[in-house]
Chain A
């Protein structure tokens, strides 16, 4: 059940998480996946991240460019564009507000963090 819960939550915030890990540094698919895992989102699925990248790109929030690799295939790097940064700011605020509300709700009922 724990895993299902996390997966459910991830569905809602994966867009925001991906935008966030691209804020400071461009990255390719597997690189972004690794950053998310290192940040603690262990449950995130490979295909979910790749699919999300495609969707954000198709929505015009990301730009993409191909970098020739010294070893192996070329890599497609993703970067935030202006619309992406704008979206990150707004979604971030929404999340913070939502998380604060949830925290307060749970605090009121004496549940430990």
Chain B
């Protein structure tokens, strides 16, 4: 006797699997003495059970037919309805296939799509690498990363792409639950691809607004509190107003030296004349000239006046700029 108990158990299991669509009670009844039967068969003949009885699936089909168990139970009819629905869907897809084909210049759309399958394998491998990278908590991007290293990520990418191509070339023969697993994986990858695409798209769009967002982030005028204007003689201009080319007042800074309780007029510079960085330097000793302002000694002439006097000597008249009070009239 060459048949082992394990072989009998396997045979029984495969018969039961082939009858899995039957109600459990019916299936149990059909297979209750199968093991005993197989034991007697094994004791009586040489060779394997399959040699003697055919495959477990064929045995199950014969058992099912002889017992008239095909129509028994509601489960089978559900299966039949499911199969009918699937047949309808695949017929519809075939019709779509034939109708879409001419639009692409082929007899059938699938003829156009079939040569593209290796391209899909490549994309699938790339998506798998991205998914692995994302699952490991790496920063998202268009290249996979492994512990922050792009090189390791490229190795991962090569591996997944090769695996995907291998799978593509061998997936034709896959049946049963591995095929279902493959489909599930494909669905998950497509879902991930959609999410990744949205993510990338968002990044691309925010790049479009880069110059604008830069205003709020890196504005060089953010640190400006006050504006000091010097005339060509190096004198501080008081109550100066700034306008752009359109006549729109330029607003910079904010008064930080309000002490008398009254605000200086808006957009009239400087707010705090006492804090002028370059003090006029008369003949008198510097410390007394402007105690409030630290006058840098090596500072060049402010505002690049044409006369290029390195040391402003004239003190601006206190009300000197009052004449400028009306301000320039906007040209438009």
**Chain A residues within CB distance 8 Å of chain B:** 14, 28-30, 45-52, 54-55, 58, 72-73, 75-76
Contact = CB atoms under 8 A, between A and B. Distances in A.
- Main secondary structure, interface of A, reads helix
Contacts of B34: 50
B64 A46 contact: no
Given A45-B62, A47-B53, 13 more contacts: A28-B33, A29-B36, A30-B36, A46-B53, A48-B62, A50-B30, A50-B66, A51-B66, A51-B68, A54-B29, A54-B67, A55-B66, A76-B32
Contact of A47 (B35, B40, B62): B62
9 contacts: A14-B66, A48-B65, A52-B66, A52-B67, A54-B29, A54-B67, A54-B69, A58-B67, A73-B35
Interface string B24-66: 0000011011111101110000000000010000011011111
Given A46-B53, A47-B60, A51-B30, A30 B66 contact: no
B33 A48 contact: no
Interface of B: 29-30, 32-37, 39-41, 53, 59-60, 62-69
Contact of A29 (B37, B67, B68): B37
- Main secondary structure, interface of B, reads helix
A55 B36 CA distance: 19
A28 B66 CA distance: 17
A14 B62 CA distance: 13
Contacts of A45: 62, 66
Contacts of B35: 73
Contacts of A29: 33, 36-37
A79 B136 CA distance: 66
Most chain-A Cβ atoms within 10 A of its Cβ — which of B30, B39, B66, B67? B66
Nearest to A73: B36
Nearest to B15: A47
B66 A76 contact: no
A75 B66 contact: no
A28 B40 CA distance: 12
A47 B36 contact: no
B63 A50 contact: yes
A46 B67 contact: no
Contacts of B68: 51, 55
Contact of B30 (A48, A54, A76): A54
A47 B33 contact: no
